[in-house]
Amino acid sequence: MSKKIKVEIVEKIFEANNQLAKTNRDILDSAGCYGLNIMASPGAGKTSVILHTIQQLKPAMKIGVIEGDTAPVTIDADKIVEIGCPAIQINTGGDCHLDASMLNAGFQKMPISTLDVLIVENVGNLICPAAFSLGTHANVMISSVPEGDDKPYKYPNIYRNLDVLILNKIDLLPYVDFSLNTFMDGLKLLNPGLIVFQLSCKTSVGVPEWGQWLSAQIRKHFPEKWN
Amino acid sequence: MSKKIKVEIVEKIFEANNQLAKTNRDILDSAGCYGLNIMASPGAGKTSVILHTIQQLKPAMKIGVIEGDTAPVTIDADKIVEIGCPAIQINTGGDCHLDASMLNAGFQKMPISTLDVLIVENVGNLICPAAFSLGTHANVMISSVPEGDDKPYKYPNIYRNLDVLILNKIDLLPYVDFSLNTFMDGLKLLNPGLIVFQLSCKTSVGVPEWGQWLSAQIRKHFPEKWN
């Protein structure tokens, strides 16, 4: 395949994805449902952060979760259902990211008109999820301390399009070589003004601050619903 | 694009890649150079393990490193050069894995006929690198304790085609919820008999055992060269 044809195919794929992402956003807005796209490396703690987020929002809001997985195991979805939230799994069949069409298909199984918040857990990967907009209201990245402070420099694309970053596992700071300054300098370079929460799912430090901020975002986006 | 055409294109891509991987293997064999393909999540410690591996093999063997990166930063390659080894970077231009053609292009810049060992550091990703054989002699996976014990269950494909697995950061076992039994059971399920080394780049525990095993593999593969 010539390089030109390959570039054209890739551009068409992105164009079609962006179009469908807009449709997804319209569907979410019409339903009054705030959508979050959670991205991270494998093992950064996406599911743990989602479980804590649900506990923060739960008293006031109805939350549903769509789990993106490359394999048909339902480990993450089971954990969400266990704490009483609706969850479905999208099995990408080996693909390394979710795209707007997969989320659109998920809407058929997840009754978003009955929800206030839809949390989408993307496939664990720092590369391709950055290229496929889903149409959610916020792109959230979860980084974790043991991954190292150089990740923004090495995987810059995903950091550029974030609305908020959660630095998880800060309880491990005493045991690993991680310079908060180096990490934050990388974020400033790629995404000046990015909102950052430092938290630990183990000690719950930082969890209330993240929950309060998110709750305020949701209420601000749907003022008629929440005021 | 119809699903059938998409499947056909994907099959052709894999077929062409496998063909070129065989060519790469022949080139490595003719040069008497043992090739390693190092795969892992972002932040599992690929570069740290490579630096320790070089220290183990260095007295007896000449080692070169090819670094696969999605961005043009040379953080990892610089660390290798600092300890006196030749290293080049392949920038995938955003692609989430190395493939056989990228490695083949790398051979033009890295004089493998002067090397005993070529270490290829793949892009940090647990999904796509599993699908693209490079033609190296061994597929090595680096998992790390803070990623969690459920990773084999969630990213099964990459564990199926491994020759050896290094469980890194075992110094963090006391501080995180990680069941060695759960992790090892997952490996047994996917890849019975897989060779596993538990090590820590921080304390150097397990590093000599890994170095000795690898050295023996290399000598076994090229008996005329090493006996």
Residue A148 CA to residue A167 CA, distance in Å, equals 11
CA distance B19 to chain A (A): 16
Please report the pLDDT score of residue B1 as a whole number.
58
Residue A36 lies in a domain: yes
CA distance A20 to chain B (A): 16
Q: Does A94 touch chain B (CB under 8 A)?
A: yes
Please judge whether B127 and A125 are an interchain contact, meaning their C-beta atoms are less than 8 angstroms apart. Answer: yes
For B29-51, letters b (16+ CB in 10 Å) and e give eebbbbbbbbbbbbbbbbbbbbb
Q: Does A148 touch chain B (CB under 8 A)?
A: yes
pLDDT of residue A94 exceeding 90, the answer is no
Q: How many CB atoms lie within 10 A of CB A90?
A: 22
Are the C-beta atoms of A208 and A216 separated by less than 8 Å? no
Residue A183 lies in a domain: yes
Please report the pLDDT score of residue A110 as a whole number.
93
Please judge whether B125 and A125 are an interchain contact, meaning their C-beta atoms are less than 8 angstroms apart. Answer: yes
pLDDT of residue A105 exceeding 70, the answer is yes
The pLDDT of A95-119, averaged and rounded, is: 95
CATH for A52: 3.40.50.300
The beta strand positions in B19-62, using DSSP E, are: 34-40
Residue B144: domain span: 3-226
Please report the pLDDT score of residue B207 as a whole number.
98
A83 three-class SS: coil
DSSP B64: E
Q: How many domains does chain A have?
A: 1
Please judge whether B124 and A148 are an interchain contact, meaning their C-beta atoms are less than 8 angstroms apart. Answer: no
CA distance B225 to chain A (A): 38
How does pLDDT run along chain B (227 residues), one tens digit per residue?
567 777 787 788 899 999 999 999 999 999 999 999 999 999 999 999 999 999 999 989 999 999 999 988 899 999 999 999 999 999 998 889 999 999 999 999 998 999 999 999 999 999 999 999 999 999 999 999 999 999 999 999 999 999 999 999 999 999 999 999 999 999 999 999 999 999 999 999 999 999 999 999 999 999 999 98
Please report the pLDDT score of residue A8 as a whole number.
82
Residue A76 CA to residue A79 CA, distance in Å, equals 5
Are the C-beta atoms of A146 and A176 separated by less than 8 Å? yes
CA distance B157 to chain A (A): 8
A220 CB-contact burial (10 Å; exposed 0-12 / middle 13-18 / buried 19+): exposed
Please report the pLDDT score of residue A1 as a whole number.
59
CA distance A75 to chain B (A): 8
CA–CA–CA angle B163, B167, B169 (5° rounding): 155
Q: Does B169 touch chain A (CB under 8 A)?
A: yes
Residue of A nearest to B16 (CA): A1
pTM above 0.90, yes or no: yes
Residue B86 CA to residue B63 CA, distance in Å, equals 7
Please report the pLDDT score of residue A11 as a whole number.
85
Tell me what the pLDDT averaged over chain A comes to.
95
The pLDDT of A140-150, averaged and rounded, is: 98
Please judge whether A42 and B169 are an interchain contact, meaning their C-beta atoms are less than 8 angstroms apart. Answer: no
Confidence of residue A131 (pLDDT cuts 50, 70, 90): very high
Q: Does B175 touch chain A (CB under 8 A)?
A: yes
DSSP B53: H
Please judge whether A42 and B69 are an interchain contact, meaning their C-beta atoms are less than 8 angstroms apart. Answer: no
Please judge whether A146 and B70 are an interchain contact, meaning their C-beta atoms are less than 8 angstroms apart. Answer: no
ipTM above 0.95, yes or no: no
Residue A225 lies in a domain: no
Residue B204 CA to residue B211 CA, distance in Å, equals 11
pLDDT of residue A7 exceeding 80, the answer is no
Residue A76 CA to residue A67 CA, distance in Å, equals 7
Residue B134 CA to residue A42 CA, distance in Å, equals 23
Residues of A within 8 A of B14 (CB-CB) are none
Residues of A within 8 A of B155 (CB-CB) are 42, 70-71, 124
